[in-house]
Chain A
Amino acid sequence: MSTGKGMTSVGRKVLMALSGFFLLIFLLQHSAINFLSVISPDMFNEVSHFMGTNPVVQFALQPVLAFGVFFHLIMGIVLEMQNRNARPIKYVDNRPGANASWMSRNMIITGIMVMLFLAIHFYDFWLPELNVKFIKGDMTGLNTEGQYRYYEELRHKFVDPIRVVLYVLSFVFLSLHLLHGFQSAFQSVGFNHNKYTPTIKKLGNIYAILIPFVFIFIAVYHFITKTA
């Protein structure tokens, strides 16, 4: 996707789409595992322990995921800067809403909001996990009472209403990002077909609403049931 003189604009958008596809798959499995906390705390604990201690997940998949997120963010910022530079003098009268959706025009805003959420998310879950497993060296996943700690830790996080509101808002931004991003990724890799594209667009809308809704539901569910 380059010609020896650096990557072309088509190459950049294809890589943006491929990292997007990867993150779509990740979101699907993350939401499915999290949803276990609503239907079965034991299953949630078992799966969390597996994901948190399995060497393939920890040392092969997790670095790939971190790279995927980082790449998607950096490439998004690079593309935005190049695009702004392509029109140095702006229109006096501009009506972008006349021909394109808000979601498609503001991917950088919704994307940065999701990344800001990731910073909170890492502070909440990822850093404490690293501390317990790799600094304290406790790989058992057990609390002081000898039971798996994951479910109770999750419930504890959603006691704070401010955190719940932040989570809900963040997933609204994720939904807005996905409403354009899902179908856009297919277009970027060259998949646009009269027969299949309408279905992809519908599927994208369902995915963009359902997956963030599952995350929102989980946060609200634990908040309500904990304080009830």
Chain B
Amino acid sequence: MNLTLKIWRQKDSNDTGKMVSYNVTDISDHMSFLEMLDVLNEQLVNSGDAPVAFDHDCREGICGMCSLQINGEAHGPDRGVTTCQLHMRMFKDGDTITIEPFRAKAFPVIKDLVVDRSAFDRIQQAGGYISVNTSGNTQDANSIPIPKADADEAMDAATCIGCGACVATCKNASAMLFVGAKVSQYALLPQGRVEAKERVMNMVNQMDKEGFGNCTNTGACEVECPKGISLTTIARMNREYLSASVTKD
């Protein structure tokens, strides 16, 4: 198929940036979206132009590196997939596709379609961990009985890959689905309960400090999340936060 691509080009973080149109031809509908961008970049390099910078790593929907706002939707028009899992069969011959970086004050553009998502790392560092002695005397996790339903729910929350689609798609650029998932994956397990109060308060404070918006429960994040993280994780974070703020010294 032949396509017209309208892509955000920005030399660096100081550049104002603009949309630039490109044509790509003979794109197979079996290609992934990133493979289609690879074809474009080969074309650009061969003609002496700078290739379009975009994030990617595993290309199998696990690492959370790929992003892209495609035709106004985070990770494109398909559901439950990352951009690397998005197939060109979702588009038609002759389509014009708009490709922009994830937009948020907390995700500044580094170059072209690459944004700095280290705000998520700092939120994780603020409380997304458990403090355990790893000197060799660590208790076997399986020795602590955990209800299957709780373990499953914690695992569901832990599937969040931190890609930032929730922030990109939220009209408020809120990070609450990400933080809700990270709070939930620990809050549901006994190992995580020990530091639960400090965790939720520290992570929420860091989230606010990074400049993310407030959640207004539109539910857009849940729809666009490639891992299907549920809004129930945000409700749990709210409960955890309320409980911690009332009971913490």
Is A bound to B?
yes
Residues of B contacting A: mostly: mixed
Evaluate contact between B218 and A100: CB separation under 8 angstroms: yes
Evaluate contact between A93 and B214: CB separation under 8 angstroms: no
Contact among B77, B205, B212, B218 with A86 in the assembled complex (CB-CB below 8 Å) = B212
Given A11-B245, A93-B100, A104-B216, A86–B174 Cβ distance below 8 Å? Answer: yes
Evaluate contact between A192 and B219: CB separation under 8 angstroms: no
Evaluate contact between A86 and B220: CB separation under 8 angstroms: no
Q: Is residue B124 within 8 Å, beta carbon to beta carbon, of the partner chain?
A: no
Contact among A11, A87, A99, A107 with B224 in the assembled complex (CB-CB below 8 Å) = A99
Evaluate contact between B223 and A10: CB separation under 8 angstroms: no
Tally of contact residues, A, Cβ under 8 A: 43
Q: Is residue A202 within 8 Å, beta carbon to beta carbon, of the partner chain?
A: no
Q: Is residue B232 within 8 Å, beta carbon to beta carbon, of the partner chain?
A: yes
Q: Is residue A14 within 8 Å, beta carbon to beta carbon, of the partner chain?
A: yes
Evaluate contact between A105 and B105: CB separation under 8 angstroms: no
A194 neighbours in B (Cβ, 8 Å): 232
* Stretch of B32-40, B55-63, B65-73 on the interface side: B65-73
Evaluate contact between A9 and B207: CB separation under 8 angstroms: yes
B217 neighbours in A (Cβ, 8 Å): 104, 180, 183-184, 187-188
Evaluate contact between A94 and B213: CB separation under 8 angstroms: no
Given A14-B242, A99-B220, A104-B219, A192–B205 Cβ distance below 8 Å? Answer: no
A188 neighbours in B (Cβ, 8 Å): 215, 217, 238
Quote the shortest CB–CB distance from A133 to chain B (angstroms).
39
Quote the shortest CB–CB distance from B133 to chain A (angstroms).
29
B207 neighbours in A (Cβ, 8 Å): 9
**Alpha-carbon separation in the docked complex, A1 to B242 (Å):** 7
B215 neighbours in A (Cβ, 8 Å): 9, 13, 188
- A sample of 4 more A-B contacts (CB under 8 A), given A3-B205, A82-B214, A100-B223, is A10-B237, A10-B241, A96-B72, A190-B237
Residues of B at the A interface (CB closer than 8 Å) are 6, 8, 19, 69, 71-73, 77, 98, 100, 103-106, 169, 171-174, 176, 201, 204-205, 207-208, 211-220, 223-224, 231-232, 234-242, 245
**20 residue pairs bridging A and B, Cβ less than 8 Å apart:** A3-B201, A9-B174, A13-B238, A14-B242, A83-B214, A86-B104, A86-B105, A86-B106, A92-B6, A93-B72, A93-B100, A99-B224, A100-B220, A101-B219, A107-B216, A180-B217, A184-B217, A187-B217, A190-B240, A192-B235
